Structures are given as C-alpha cells and as structure tokens.
Amino acid sequence: MFVDECVIKVQAGEGGRGCISFRREKFEPFGGPNGGDGGRGGDVVLEGDENTNNLIDYKYRAHWKGERGEHGQGKDCTGREGRSAILMVPLGTIVTNEETGQVVAEITEQGQRVVLCKGGNGGWGNTHFKTPTNRAPRRANPGHPGESGVFRLVLKCIADVGLVGFPNAGKSSLTNAITRARPKMAAYPFTTLHPQIGVIEYPETYQWMLLADVPGLIAGASENHGLGHRFLRHIERCTVLVFLLDMAGTDGRDPRDDYKVLRQELKLYDPRLLKKPCLVAANKMDLPEAKANLSKFKKRYKVSVVEISCLEATGLEKLKQTLLKQVIKLRGADKIRLMK
C-alpha cells in the first residue's frame, strides 16, 4: 500500500520532577539539601530517510510520544533525560499544523532532523532553593509538560523527471525499461494505482536521477474522473516533465488530442506545471501508424520529441541522455546525484 498523506498526534515527554533530599552522613549534622533536578523529557523528531518511500508507518500508528524524563534523586543526582521519538519520513515530506494550517517543516535531505515538539524541562530539586535564611528548603518543582500537537504529513516526491501520460500509453513499460523499478504491466488501463519512483542510472559517468511515474490521467481528471489529480503533487518538484504519448493511437485516440488533454489537466491542477521544461516521448514507433501520426503531431506542436519503442527497446538510450542533458542545463552538473 502506498500512503502519501496522513495525520499524526504527537506528545513530547514530560520533564521529571525535582527531588527533596538532605545530606545524611556521620559527623555532618548540618549537611544541607542535596536533591537533584529532574531529567528533560524526550522530543518528537522527524528525520529524513532516503530508504523510506511512503508514510504507511504513520497511517496505522497515529500517536507518537517522547519518553518522560526520570525524577531527580538524592546526592545531587539529576534524572536521566527521556528518549526522543524519532520518526523516519521520506524525503519530500511537508508537515502542516492541523490547527493553524501553517507549514512547520519540510524534509528534503537525507539525515535532516526537525524537532516537531520539544520535551518539557525537568523540575528543580531543593538544592536550588537554599538561601542564607532557609537552609533546609522542603520545596522542589514538578517537571514541565512537553509540547503536543496534531500534524498532517504530506509526501511530495523529490524526483528529477516526472512522467505523465494516458493509461496504456506505456508508462510502466518505460519505467521498467530505463530504471530498476518494476511496476505492474498489463494490457488494461490503470495498472499503476500509485506513483512509482525509479532510478535512471548512467554507469559511464557514475550519475543517477530519479524518475516519478504517476498514474495515468484522462480527460476530466480534475473532476475526479479516473484516479483524479491526487497524485500530481508528486511531479510538482520535478525539473523536467516527460509526456509519454501512444503515437500509434492503438486505443483509437489521436496523439495530438492526448497531448492537449494532458496539458489541460496539468493546467487545471496547477498552471505552474506548464512552465516546466518538457519533452514528448513518442512511444510505439514500431507500429506502422506511428510515423504518420508523428508527422501530424510535429506540424501542430513545436515541442522536443524523442522517438522510442518500449517493446523493441529502441530510442531509450537517446531519451536517457536527453533527460540528463536537460537536468544538467537547468540545475547544474554539481546537482546530479553520484553513485556511491
């Protein structure tokens, strides 16, 4: 199951209470107070993890708590701090406060840590209350409560390339051919029910990029037809968009109309998506009808086109190199991930 949105309730740990204690040793009749402070409560911390790809861990466990700090002890012993609750989340997670609607954190890097709720401070022991006129204070503070809140986690995948197209255009086949992802492939529409993230590797230069394949769009997706617009959030951060078109029109569709519908649906979701650099991957060029349809398409649209055939594995290397050049041009070579 793929989960890209959930609500969690978190409670940081309460601080331990301070201790009331007095020094009791032989030949020390006026030893004085020696109560230690309580330990600090554990925080609730979000940490980015590139090996986590969705939020399923938080769908079935919505409550998270930091550990309470230990109470102070005699002999000026401070209580142990409570253990923090570490929540590992995928890169691209946005955290919003449910009550205020304010974005409080965005996890974008491996190992990045954000304290969502701070643990309470421990209470003072009676040592802190000793004065010249009160040498035997019988007072200590309780621990402070930890912060709490209700937060919404929303995942927006961080990928370099976003792949969009109609159902049965060959998106899963292309993802399977140029990455190590293995999405389901079948001869019926909507085989992809949730986004697939694959790695495009360039062994000759030790570089790699992430490809996000979102479920197929159809006309009326903005009105919740098909699978709707829900998964388009995963291409918002992509550097380059790839429109995969069935250039042979095997389902009786015209590739020119498909391209128009896809752009219209992206515009209805977020007009900024149309400002992203894009190219068209003309699939199924092994079929006889594809050449004529491609000629008509190029007359109507002035857009970069790469001819491919997932069935015969032709044009795939050219597509990979074209994508790499575009991403390097837009982001810089130093931003391309390198193999470890």
1 in the same domain as 110: yes
Quick: pLDDT tens for 94-150: 999 999 989 999 998 888 999 999 999 999 999 999 998 898 899 999 999 999 999
313 in the same domain as 168: yes
Average pLDDT (262-273) is 87
Quick: pLDDT tens for 25-79: 877 777 889 999 999 999 999 999 988 888 888 988 999 999 999 999 999 999 9
Please give the backbone phi and psi of residue 17, each rounded to the nearest 5 degrees, phi first. -80, 155
Would you put residue 25 in left (φ > 0), alpha (ψ -120 to 50) or beta?
beta
Q: What CATH number did the domain enclosing 44 receive?
A: 2.70.210.12
Q: What CATH number did the domain enclosing 232 receive?
A: 3.40.50.300
165 in the same domain as 82: no
Q: CB-side exposure of 212: number of CA atoms within 13 Å?
A: 24
278 in the same domain as 183: yes
Give the domain extent around 121. Answer: 1-155
168 in the same domain as 78: no
93-97 vs 103-107, strand pairing mode: antiparallel
Average pLDDT (317-339) is 82
For residue 306, the surrounding DSSP H or E stretch is strand 305-307
pLDDT of 86 reads 95
166 in the same domain as 150: no
Q: Is the pLDDT of residue 82 over 90?
A: yes
- pTM for this entry: 0.77
pLDDT of 195 reads 73
- Our CA angle for 302, 276, 195, nearest 5°, is 110
Last residue of a domain, one of 122, 155, 188: 155
325 in the same domain as 292: yes
pLDDT of 340 reads 61
Last residue of a domain, one of 155, 177, 194: 155
**Amino acid at site 97:** N
Q: pLDDT confidence of 186, banded at 50, 70, 90?
A: very low
Question: Which range among 10-14, 225-229, 242-246 has the greatest average pLDDT?
Answer: 10-14
316 in the same domain as 169: yes
136 in the same domain as 35: yes
Q: Which residue has the higher pLDDT, 155 or 197?
A: 155
Q: pLDDT confidence of 190, banded at 50, 70, 90?
A: very low
SS3 229: coil
189 in the same domain as 279: yes
Bridge partners of 88?
47
Q: Is the pLDDT of residue 183 over 70?
A: no
Judge whether 171 and 244 are in contact, CB under 8 Å. yes
314 in the same domain as 289: yes
Q: Is the pLDDT of residue 251 over 60?
A: yes
pLDDT of 336 reads 73
pLDDT of 43 reads 95
Average pLDDT (156-170) is 84
What is the number of structural domains in the chain?
2
- Our CA angle for 266, 232, 206, nearest 5°, is 110
The token pair at 187 is: 């001869």
Specify the DSSP class assigned to residue 224. T
Residue where the block lists tokens 């008509």: 296
pLDDT of 224 reads 58
SS3 279: strand
172 in the same domain as 144: no
**Dist CA 72 CA 308 (whole Å):** 70
Please give the backbone phi and psi of residue 76, each rounded to the nearest 5 degrees, phi first. 60, 35
- Number of residues that this document lists for the chain: 340
